[in-house]
C-alpha cells in the first residue's frame, strides 16, 4: 500500500514550457486534490475532483488544468509555465465517511520555472 505518490519529485522548466504532474493513490479514494505551497505560506487549493471524470476549481486555478480519467489518478497540467508557478505542489486524496474525510498527502513535487 503506497498511499499517495507523485511524479516527478523535482522539475525545472523554462518559461512557456508545458508539463504534467501525476498523482496516484491506491486507497480507492473518491476525492483528490492539488495544492501549491509557496515559502512562508500555507497550502492553497488549485483544483479538486470528487470522482472519476469530474473536476472543479479551487482557490487558485488560473494557469492550471486537471484531468481525472481514472479514479486512482489525478493529473495537473501547466500549459505555458510562468515563473509565478514556481512552487511545491502537493496532491492529496480522501474518502468521505460519516461526514468527515481525512486527507492523505503525497511527498510533493518541487517545480522551478526559469
Partner 1 sequence: DAKTTQPPSMDCAEGRAANLPCNHSTISGNEYVYWYRQIHSQGPQYIIHGLKNNETNEMASLIITEDRKSSTLILPHATLRDTAVYYCIVRVGGYQKVTFGTGTKLQVIP
Q: Which helix (H) or strand (E) holds 87?
A: strand 87-94
x/- contact string, 4-43, with partner 1 (CB under 8 A)?
A: x--------------------------x-x-x----xxxx
Alpha helix ranges (H) inside 15-81: none
Of the pair 96, 114, the CB lying nearest partner 1 is at: 96
- As a whole number of angstroms, the longest Cα–Cα distance in the chain is 45
Residue from 8, 70, 107, 112 touching partner 1 (CB under 8 A): that is: 107
Q: Residue count of the chain, please give it.
A: 114
Question: How many residues sit in the footprint of partner 1 (CB under 8 A)?
Answer: 32
Amino acid at each position: 500500500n503506497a498511499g499517495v505518490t507523485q511524479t516527478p519529485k523535482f522539475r525545472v522548466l523554462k518559461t512557456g514550457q508545458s508539463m504534467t504532474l501525476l498523482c496516484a493513490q491506491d486507497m480507492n479514494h473518491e476525492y483528490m486534490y492539488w495544492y501549491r505551497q509557496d515559502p512562508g505560506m500555507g497550502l492553497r487549493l488549485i483544483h479538486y475532483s470528487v470522482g472519476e471524470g469530474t473536476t472543479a476549481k479551487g482557490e487558485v486555478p488560473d494557469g492550471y488544468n486537471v484531468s481525472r480519467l481514472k479514479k486512482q489518478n489525478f493529473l495537473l497540467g501547466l500549459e505555458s509555465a510562468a515563473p509565478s508557478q514556481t512552487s511545491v505542489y502537493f496532491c492529496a486524496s480522501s474518502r468521505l465517511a460519516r461526514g468527515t474525510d481525512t486527507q492523505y498527502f503525497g511527498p510533493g513535487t518541487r517545480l522551478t520555472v526559469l
